[in-house]
Structures are given as C-alpha cells and as structure tokens.
Structure 1
Amino acid sequence: MLSRSLNLILQSLPSPLHILQQSSSPSTMTNPRSKPNKNEATNKKADPDIQNLSIKNESTLEKTDAGEITFTDTASDLGGGEITRLFNIIDQLRECGVAEDISLPQLVVVGDQSSGKSSLLEALTGIPFPVAATLCTRFATQINFRRAQHSSVQVVVLPSKDATGNIRAKKASKTYPKMTGLIFEKILAEASVEMGLPQPGETTENILPSTARFSDDVLKIDISGPDQPLFSVVDVPGLFQTATIHQTEDDIAIVEQLVTRYIKNPRTIIMAVASSLNDIANQKVIQLAKEADPKGSRTVGILTKPDAVQHGDESRVIEVAQNKVARLTHGWFVVRNRSPDEVRRGITADQRIINERFFFQKDPWNALEKSQVGCESLKTFLRKLLLSHIRKEYPLIVKELDNLYQRCRDDIKELGPPRETPEQQRKLLLEISNKFHMVTRDALMGNYQLSALEFKQLRLRTVIYDLRDKFVQEICSHGHLYFLDTKKDTEIRKIHDWICETYLKCRGPELPGLVNHTVMRILFQLQTEGWSKIAESLIESVKDLVDSFTQQLLAQTCGDPELRMNIWNLLDAEMEMANERAKEELQQILTDERGDILITHEVNFNSSVEESRKKRYISDLSGNKDESLDVSSRASLNAPKMVEEPLFDLFNRSFRTQEEQAILEIFDYLRSYYLIARSRFIDNVAIQVVERHFLGTGGSARSFSPKLVGELTDEQLQDVAGEDFGVVQQRRGLATRLERLEKAKKIARAGYGI
C-alpha cells in the first residue's frame, strides 16, 4: 500500500505534469530553494529520518553543499529493484489480512468536513472524490495503484476484523475497465448497499434508527495500468461537530472513534488536512492528530484553500506553514486545489497544477519555501518520508510477525487438540487413557518414575501395602472379642467363663457331657464381630486412595481443567460402582466366614488342637492344673486302695468333669479355628475385595482405560470431550490467524532473503 504511495508522488499525474517535472529537474529532483534561511533550518531539522536515508541500487538521498536533501532516482519508473520489492511486500502483507494483527505502514488522510480533503485526494489520485458535504463517505476507502500491462479497476469490500460468520469472508470483487467520476459514484453507492449503510446524500429522516450509519468495513479499490505508479492512500470519513439532516449527534462520536483507530496506529503517517480559512486550534483534526501523535513525528500538516483567505489574513496562514504555531516534526505544506467554482467552470487537473504553481509565485505566498507549497512538493516529500518509514519499520515488522506467530501457536497449544467431531474426541481420550493406563500399570507394579516420588498418591502399590499392614494390625489387635492367646490368668478365666456361659445357654437335646453343635458357631460369630467395621474402614481408605491417585494422575495426563473434570465425572460413576461391588464382596466374605457352617481344610487345624491339648495335659501333670473353670458338677475322687497313692495323685491332677473337658475342648477348637479363619479373612479381603474391585482388571484404579473410551457413544463423547462453543470459535479464530500470520511471515522474511 505504502509502496504505491511513493511512486505516485512523482509519477501519478498525467503527461502535462511530467513535462513540468522534467522542466524542474531532468535527472535529479532537488528542493528549489535558493538559499537556506531560518524556516529552512526548521524544516530540515524536523526530518532526521529522511536525512539519513539511503536506498541501495535504486535511488539515493544526498545532501548538497547548502545542506539541502536531494533524491537521486536511478530507476525513474521504480518498477523493479529493492524499493518496489519492499513496497510490494507491504502491499502483500495488507492483502493477506495481517493488518488485523500488527500495524502496517500506511498513509491516512484525515480532516474535518469541508476542509478540502476530497479535493486534495483528487489531486493526489486523479479520482474525482465527492466534494459536497452531503455526499460524505461513511466508511474508509483504500485506493491502491498497481503497475500492470492492462488497465482495470478492481473493487472489493473488506469486512472489519470484528465481523463474524459469512460476513467475515472476503467478498467477491468487481472489475471495471477504467475509473471515471460516474464509476466512482457507482462504486461508493454499491459499497454502501453491501455494508448496509444509507446511500451518500441520504437524509437522517429516511434512515431507520436501527440502521448503521457508518461502518468499520473498508472499500478497497485497485487501479491498475501500464502507466500507474505504486501508490496507496486511505481516506476516512470527514470529522464534523454539528448534526445536520445527513448526520446525527451520535454520528459525531462514531466518526471520531473510527478516525482515531486509524491514526493511533504507530505505523500510520497522518496527513492532517486543515482549512486555511479557520484557526487550526478550532479544527478537530489537529486535536485528534496531537492526541494520537503527541510528538508530531508521524504527522504531516497540510493547509488547503489558501486562495480563499481574506486579504490581510495571509500572515496567520503563513506562520502556521512555517511551523511556528503548531510545530510538527515534518512541518506544514500548503496546497491550492480546484475551488467549487473552478470545478463548475471545467478547470482540468492539468490546469489546476499550472494555476497552483502560479498562485504560489505571487506575494505573499512566495515567502514560503517552494518545498512547502504545492501538491508536487507534497508528493516529493511524502515519497521520501514513506520510503524512510518503510525501511525503518520493516525489520520490526518481521520480528513482530515472528513473535505473534509463536504466541498464536502457544495459544492454540494451550487449547489442546481440536475435539469438535466424535473422531477427534475419541482420539484425544484414547491418547489420555493410554498414558493413564501405562502410569497406572507401573504404579501397581511398583515401577515408579521420579515424579511419583514427589506425590504419595502416585505410589499406589506402596500406600496399598501400608493400608493392608494397618488392616492386619487392626484385625489382630482389635478384631476379636477376646484375645485367645493371652497368658494372664484373669483373662483366661474370663474366656472360660464366657465359653461356659454360652455352653450352658445352648444346651439342647444332646446327652449330658456332649456339646451342642451351635455353640462353636455362636462363639465364633461373637468373637469376630469386630471384623466388619475394620474391613469397611479399609475399603473406604482404599477408595479414597484410588480417587486421589486418579485425580492426581489426570492432572498430569490432561492439561485442560474442564476436560479433566468431565473425565472425572465419567470415571466417578464407574468408580462408585466398583466401590459398591467391593462392599458387596466384603459382605459376602463376612457371611461366608461367619455363617452357619464353619469350614476349614487347613492341614494344621487338627495338629493345632492336639498341640493345645498336650500343653494343657503337661501343665496339669506338672502341678499347674488350670483351676479357672467353675462348673457346679465338679467332684473330687478318693484313691482306690488298689491304686498306689502317687499314681492316683497324678491321675487326680489331670482329671476333668465332662463339662470341664467340654469347655476346654471348645476353647482349643475355637482358638485354632479363629487363627485359621482370621488369616483366611485377611487374605480374602486383600485379594477378593482390594485387588479384584480396586486394583485388578476392571478395578476402579484401572477404570479409565482405552476399552472404556472405545465403548463410549457419540453422545457420551460429546458430553465428556466436546468443546464449548466459545472454545470452538476461539480455536477457529486462532487457526485462521495462525494461517494468516504464517503466510505473512513467509512474505516478510522473503523480503529479507531468509
């Protein structure tokens, strides 16, 4: 865009202008000032970028002995080489839409309505812009001049970056054979319709309140031809401060905001057009330009309508032009365009150039430096300024594009893989579940990674062993009613009394001295009442551990918090079912162990009972007879005469009544069976409950498996892995932006030969 600007500055005018240019300087364009003065020094000082500019191969800026800056053009048509390449790159960057992401160098013409902005644009571009206030444009117009073999005019409306959906898509372009006043009016009218705006000149009375009156869309006009120079300029709607039948009070703020967005671009060169008829302090354009460019380094002041200034007021305008009133780095220019009367009289563009030149040769305007007056001087200056501006900003643009591209990639990566379709959703869940499955497998086998050492929950098998050890300790210490291996006489008496009491309560039709078969079952059930609570506590602990493990592992394998929560919600139901199955399994084990039938095939059971008997007999014979039994039927025996006293005394030590013997036998059987059943119960809980329902295949710790993902329906996939519509839109926007930035990056870096 800017590329085309520089070329038009010297070459956009018709052949009569070229004759004037040749008469001024055949090969070197030099400021026609004869000697330096105070004003000249001011203007030179205000243009540091241009003074240091040097263009390789194509053209060179040089200083004369008098300190003047000259532009030596070694390729008068600028159709090739480095300059054209740079300008074309900027134009290509704008065409690929990257101006939405970064600031690109551009030339923007701004001014109040009736400031002469349209006449200036006509002089710069040769296009007959509407000059009547009633025909003000309601959108920005970007005009590009292209060098091509055949002449044509291509027009397209570029939607604003805030547009969405189908509106966001680039509109189809229209082509015209050439540009005329009537065609330009038709283009503006059709663009207004396409943007949904009122027609130029339409009054507010005929506009519905809901109808937009200004648009952020851009009308792009490409004018191509063999004699067209490279040039680009953006025209924005004119500023105004009073409502009329064509524009409302609300429109004042809308236009001001639109203009401000353009001129706040740090790479925009502001052509601030001000009327010589009004004090510049009262013109809105100067205020906005100062706010957008406080140092005035990007602003070029342009005073119009000097020929309409009242006699005696010329000094006021001249002081502004000499950069004494509102100082700008690049100073001020004064131009004389066709007046409305001259337009009506048919004064041509060629004649306008001649009239302007003669006007500034008259007093008092001839006091101004020739480099400050006339459209030709303005074009020459803009050409130098734009060239300097592009060369200075180009490396920064390349760097900024690289940074934005990387940032956009990071933003897309942060969103995670796309998951709009069931296939994408299943693929993502399979990837996560595979990672989850492998880490779980290692955790259950004790194959820990370094990260597992930092999180106790991830050392699943280790913590399970700790819980099982605690469970065994609890069962052995508090799982019984009585500690059957006690050596304390008081405890032994309590146990025997408990057995005796139960034995007496359970008498049935059996013969005296025999034991009812229900006694052992009841005693065992009473002895093991504590197992259930301890085992249930183990199940809760294991469940909490597996839940914590799953959540911690999901945090490592799934970076999206929302997706992670959805996966957890899916697994939570599966894990709760596994927990319920574990509880049911425990109750079944307890029922089996504490049921009506006591069963053991433990080979050591009988030997354990016999060992207890032997120990008791030995104790009795050694004089340590257990006197803890208190049975009412107990009797003492006198030694028969035929039995020797020592032998009978030995017999009497070991003698028990039937009831005493039954109680001791019950104790021996109960103790041996309890120890066997306890070990069996501990193992069954560990294997059939913990391993089967929590850790084993199908257990809750392995619930997030590829198998589970493979069985999910499309509806379930959407519920779990489906993206929020806002995220989908964000991803699509980032993908579009990344594609745009990648294309722009290639274009820009190609300019560096990278």
Structure 2
Amino acid sequence: MRRGPIDQLVVRVIPDPDRSVAEQTAIKEFSEYPSDFTDLLRVMGKAKGVMGLSSISSLSQPLPAKAFARDVLSIEIQGPSRQQLTLVDIPGLIRSETQWFTSQDREMVAEITDAYITQPRTVCLAVISATHNHASQLILEMVHDADPTGERTLGIITKPDSLNAGSNEEKISLDLARNVKVVFKLGWHVIKNEKVSESAFSFEQRNATEASFFRNSNFNSLPAHGLGIDALRARLTFILFENFKRELPNLTRELESAVTETTSQLRKLGDGLATTSPRHSRSYLTRLSMDCVEISNAAINGNYESLYFHGDSHETSSLKSASSIKRLRTVIQHLNRDFVSEIQIRGAKYHIMSPDQETQMSKHLADSTIPGSVQLSKDKALGWISRVMERSRRKESYGNFNPSIIGELFWEQTSKWQALAEQHVDRVFCICQKFFDLLLEEKCPGYIGVRLSQFEVVKSLNTRRECAYKEVWNLMDDNQDFPTVYDHDYAATIQKQQSERMQSVLREAIDDAASQPESHEIVSKNATSSISLDAVMAQVRSKTHRDMHSYSCDHVLGCLLALYKASLFLILGIRASPTDFH
C-alpha cells in the first residue's frame, strides 16, 4: 500500500535477477491497472503467464512442471488515505514431493521463504493451521532459526472454527495463543478464515461472522487484542511502529553510508557527464582510459611513486591484500619465485632419494617426503629404468642400451611441468583480474566499472591467458623432442658421478684389503700399517660390475638426473643445488 493522489491498483511483475536480460526486459514491460478488486483475478492470470506459470482449475489436475517462480508479483494499492505498508505473501512451505510439487519446487519455496525471513527488519507472521499439529509445521522451525529470540515474529493461528469445542486440539491451540507452547515475544493472534460457503460475503459480513464466532466459542477466554482481523490490523500497526523506532538509528546510518558512497561515485564521474550526450561520454571514457593506462604501466614496471600505490605501511603484507595487489609487479615477482621453488621441489615426477633420505624414510620422518612427488629409493629407481630399458631394446648388443630411453625417461620425469606452469598462469591471471577490479573500483563508479570489466578487461585478460597457455604448450612440445644439452656442466656432472662411483668402489676395496698382509707394501709418511696393492686390485675386480645391464641402468640414471638438472636451468634460468635433484 502506498499514499497516492488517486485511488488505483497497479499490478506489475518484478523479474528474478538471475533471468536473462531479454527475459527481464520482457517481464518489466508487463503492467496492468485493474478498475477494482473484482478484476484482480483476471489480471493475476495474465501475470502468471508472463512469469511462465500456467493456471489450473483445481488441484485434482497435476500442476504444470513449473509451479513456482522467483519473480515477484507486485500488487500496489494507491490512494490518498492509504498507509505505507508492504506485505509479502510467500508460497506455503512444502514438506515433501508429491504429484503436484517437485523436489525443485520444495527447495525453491524454502529458499524464497528463508531469503525474506532472515532480513533483520522483516516482521515475520508465522501462519499455522489449528487443524494440524504445530510440531509438524515447518515455518515454526524456520522462523526459530532466523529469529531465535522471537523478537520480530508474530504467530498466526487460522481455522479455529474447524476444531470441536472442548477437544484436545482446541486446548493445544488455546495454549499456543496464550504463548505457552511456542514462545514469541510478539505473542500469537487468532483469526477465522472464510468457509467456502462464505466466499461471496462482503468484508463487513466476513468480519461480523468472525466476531460472532469469537464471542460464542472457547476462544473468548483469550484477550480481545489477540482475536480477529480488526485487532490484528491494530496490532500490526503498533508492531511496525515499534520496529521502525528501534531500527531508525540503523536505517539512518545506512542512509548516511549510502549518501557517502553515492557522493563518492558521483565525484569519480567528474564534470564530464553533465549530460548523457555521446560526446561527453567519450570524453569521460578517454580520460578514464588514460588514467588507468598510466597507473597500469607504473604497476607493471614497478614504479610506485603515484599516490595510488601509497598505503599504510603497517597494513598486512599478504599478497591477497588490496594494497599488495595494487603493486602488481611485486606480486608477480613473488608468484614467479614461488613457481620456481615449486618446480624445484615438486617438478620431478620421481624423487630419487639419497642413502641418508632412505634412512630417514625408514624411521618414518615426515620431513623426508616431498608433496606431489613419488619417493623412490635408488634400487627402485634402477628397477624403473630397467623396465623401460627392457621394453625399448632394438639391435644393440647386450650391455649397451638404446639411447632414446633417456628421452623417454626424461619425458616421464618432467610430465608434471605443464600442469604446474598452467597453474602459475592461472594465478597470474587471477591477480591481474583483481588488480583491474581494484583500479576500476577506485577510478570510476561501480556501474561503469562492472561494465568495463565484463566487456573489456575480462575479455582481454582471457585472450592473454590463452596466449600464455599456448606458450606453455609450445615449450612442452619442444620438450617432447629428444633432449639435447650443450651445457658443459652436464658433461661435468656425468664425469663427477662416474668418479664418485669409482671412488666408492675403491674405498670399499681398500677397507677390505687393509687387514690382509702381502709381500708388497706401501708405507705413507704418517701410517705404520701396510696395504697390499694386489689385494686391493683383487677386491676392485670383485666389486666391478660384471652385470652389464645393472651397470647400464646405473649410468642411465646418472644421465637422467644430470639432464633434468641442466634442462631445468635452461627453462627457468636457475642454477639448482645438487641436493635438489639427488
């Protein structure tokens, strides 16, 4: 109801915001002006058609597939003597799926109800029927969740005339009305519904029938202010007035905040949009574009002298904070560093453990594992290489190996690189998107920023992300060629591994031969013990690989680890520590 110069009815449909723009436009075009309430039923039928709902003649026929919609049917009653009041009648709650209502209908009605009753300034009228057990009425549970203290809920009991006088059901309804069974701070109210035989009654006749029932039934023991439609009207007026007084300070603060925000939005528009002419709009967008380009270039190059980048030095340094995201180059540098670290730590599919790490694993030390990588002891790694070698044999002699298996092993070892690189691209994309959202939020009003973001920024960033993906894919395509490395460190690493293997064999041989006296002795300056060279050589010969397949596997493993290290340096430009790729 609204105060207006003349008496009239206006029927409109407020479209669901989730509908498409075309559907919303079509629905907004609907408006009807019934001459009086008798014409309302016809107009509501047309409105249901606009909302995509079909009318039904009776519940004996199944309802249409779409029984409910999120659109709002608005019936505005205007007149010089009308009070300012908005009454929202939401669909009745559905307990279970039936032949008339689907599970989707049930969920939609519950969501609509919850959306209204959770609003802190809404007065909830929890309507229940006296003919049903109150414990099974869903609305009571929902209003309790939305309004635990019951400060803004008034219980309404209907159909009291359907109860037998003196029955247990009537006693329960009377206890409810006395605010005993279910307690609301606003209490309860009882009204009588029209019967089917009374559907043609005028308002006066309906009110007279209700008053007669309450005078002559057991409900006459209740206070008069809790009975009947007239008393409900007066009671709601008082409740709304008290609610308004209580919420007025909050409403004032919200209005002041809205004024401040609106003033800020208008200030961002400047003087360029004094009119809606295309020339003024182009001029405004040109200035906005130049300002955003200047700030974007500064952020990309890491030049933070502009006031836009200044902030509280004590503000959180998290990369997710607004002040950090404004300094785009800094955040990207951190992301790049994290990506390099992630590739170093988690880039290899298999982490070949050193003997010390194997010892830690046997003791179940948590810090010996690398997230995302498969832990392999050297023996298991040699087993993996042996299986690949066996299935890749060509015409080479036994003891030699097909050199192409190094490439096959390398491709498997680097199989995680593409996913990690694409993940890095996505992170950079999200930061760039947040950067532009913050920039547009500060430099232009919200409705302009949203449109520029949707139609320009997001589209451009998506294009750049696809280009970045293609670069990753090109690198991965190159990676699928047989790996060729010209880095001197690669050869040096292979030689070092071979030298370390020989030193290990020689050290064990010397230890084994140290206690065996022979005629030929070597005496050092500071040593008094002697070692037989023949005994040492005998031990070396016994420890030398007689199984050429095992020797080849060991050699291939060394080549793979050295190749992985060198390739990572070529791709990322980092010189990794040998312990990262043991």
Q: TM class by shorter-chain length?
A: 0.3 to 0.5
TM-score in terms of structure 2 length: 0.47
Greater length-normalized contact order (CA 8 Å, ≥ 6 residues apart):
1
Larger Rg: 1
Q: Could you state the TM-score of these two structures normalised by the residue count of structure 1?
A: 0.37
